[in-house]
Amino acid sequence: MKPFRAIAAMSENRVIGANNGIPWHIPDDFRWFKECTENQIVVLGRKTYDSLKKKPLPRRENWVLTHRDLFMFNPDPLIRTFRSLEKLEQTAEGQNNKQIWICGGAEIYKQYLPRCRDLFLTKIKRTVTGDRFFPEFENIFTEKKVLKETDEFKIVWYVNSAPKRITQDLIEASFPKDQENIEEKTIEQLAFSFFNI
Ligand SMILES: NC(=O)c1ccc[n+]([C@@H]2O[C@H](COP(=O)([O-])OP(=O)(O)OC[C@H]3O[C@@H](n4cnc5c(N)ncnc54)[C@H](OP(=O)(O)O)[C@@H]3O)[C@@H](O)[C@H]2O)c1
């Protein structure tokens, strides 16, 4: 089973969205998102996809979950649509060279978080008014490392620590230990080189 990663930003009161948009503007965090996901695959709910100012997200494969027939008359090579999580997972199995990033919104995080090996969560240090919230994740993820902290936000890397029977066997089958170490270095290098520019 291919390991997925989730990336998100939430306020102190767990808000992630308002009026189908993101209710803050933190350029450093947008750049972090871009740095992580460029040249990879981003998985988006249809409402989040609709909310993008520039779409599809450039230099990324945009996998959009929807029950609708979108893009039928306007196909774009960067976009694929999926009607179910199962279909998306089947297609993901063939993607050996690309990371799959679960990028929201709230409905998608809720369904996919238990399936993700890593969560990169930007914690915005304020309370915000909104209508979409990040789901409970504390029961399945444990903090691995703080990658960056400023007065405005903190980026925390969490790993899925759900009971072995649910994920660990599957993760180890597809991610041998030494590869996991390489992955860890890569994340740290990414954070280090990005935030020290
Ligand atoms: N702060 C952050 O990190 C962050 C990140 C991303 C998004 N957001 C915010 O989150 C909000 C949007 O979240 P949302 O919960 O309203 O919507 P969403 O999760 O982006 O999209 C929901 C839509 O996805 C489709 N969908 C969901 N589950 C599906 C499944 N199993 N199979 C097929 N299609 C499925 C449906 O589309 P159809 O109706 O077309 O069938 C559904 O209406 C916005 O405010 C956005 O800005 C915040």
Tally of domains within the chain = 1
Residue nearest to atom 40 of ligand 1 (CA): 66
Q: How is residue 147 written in tokens?
A: 């990658």
DSSP 113: G
How many whole angstroms separate alpha carbon 58 and alpha carbon 179? 29
Q: What are phi and psi of 141, to 5 degrees?
A: -115, 145
pLDDT of residue 197: 40
Mean pLDDT calculated for residue range 147-168: 83
pLDDT tens profile 6-19: 999 999 999 999 99
Give the pLDDT band (50/70/90) at residue 165.
Answer: very low
Q: Which amino acid is at 175?
A: F
Average pLDDT over residues 87-116: 94
C-alpha 133 to ligand 1 mean position (Å):
11
Average pLDDT rounded to a whole number, residues 135-150: 96
pTM over 0.85: yes
Q: CA dihedral defined by 103, 106, 108, 112, rounded to 10 degrees?
A: 90
Give the structural domain span for 99.
4-195
- Collapsing DSSP to helix, strand or coil, 99 comes out as coil
What residue owns the CA closest to ligand 1's atom 47?
21
Phi, psi of 122 (to 5 degrees): -90, 120
Ligand 1 interacting residues, C-beta cut-off 6 A: 8-9, 16-17, 20-22, 45-48, 51, 65-68, 83-85, 103-108, 111, 132
Question: Residue 164: is its pLDDT beyond 60?
Answer: no
CATH code for position 87: 3.40.430.10
In angstroms, what is the span from residue 48 Cα to ligand 1's centroid? 5
| pLDDT value of residue 95 | 86
